[in-house]
């Protein structure tokens, strides 16, 4: 990935985080990395821990950023979330949710974008 793409990704994550915090969510972890994969943002509210994949797409002629979240990517996020919960047992008591933030001309927040059953 070129430095420009990394910078775009970081800016998209910044924008997503700002949006989600404005919705009342609290940041738990950013760029959680383990052998299973990476989770861009982990946030929480009173009852739920939310694992967020952020996708930026300048050109949506071939689909949105959300369209690029494949089954393989979902599996990596789910496995990373399981690892996170094993490492941070205080969050096991909360419900969990997998969201996608898709950014192009606008920001789209897709809550419950996928589940453990997907």
> For 7-24, b where at least 16 C-beta lie within 10 A, e where not — what string?
ebbeebbeebbeebeeee
Share of the chain above pLDDT 90, in %: 66
Spatial neighbors of 88 by CB under 8 A, at least 6 apart, are: none
What per-residue confidence (pLDDT) applies to 51? 98
Q: Which CATH class is domain 3-114?
A: alpha beta
- Over residues 9-51, the pLDDT tens digits come to 889 999 999 999 999 999 999 999 999 999 999 999 999 999 9
* Structural domain spans, the chain: 3-114
Strand pairing category for 48-56 and 95-103: parallel
- Mean pLDDT (the chain, rounded): 90
pTM of the predicted model as reported, rounded to 2 decimal places: 0.89
């Amino acid at each position: 990935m070129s430095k420009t793409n990394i910078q775009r990704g970081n800016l998209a994550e910044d924008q997503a985080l700002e949006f989600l915090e404005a919705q009342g969510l609290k940041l738990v972890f950013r760029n959680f990395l383990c052998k299973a994969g990476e989770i861009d943002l982990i946030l929480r509210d009173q009852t739920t821990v939310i694992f967020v994949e952020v996708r930026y797409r300048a050109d949506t002629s071939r689909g949105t950023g959300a369209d690029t979240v494949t089954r393989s990517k979902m599996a990596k996020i789910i496995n990373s979330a399981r690892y996170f919960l094993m490492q941070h047992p205080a969050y096991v008591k909360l419900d969990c949710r997998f969201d996608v933030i898709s950014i192009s001309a606008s920001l789209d927040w897709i809550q419950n974008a996928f589940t453990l059953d997907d």
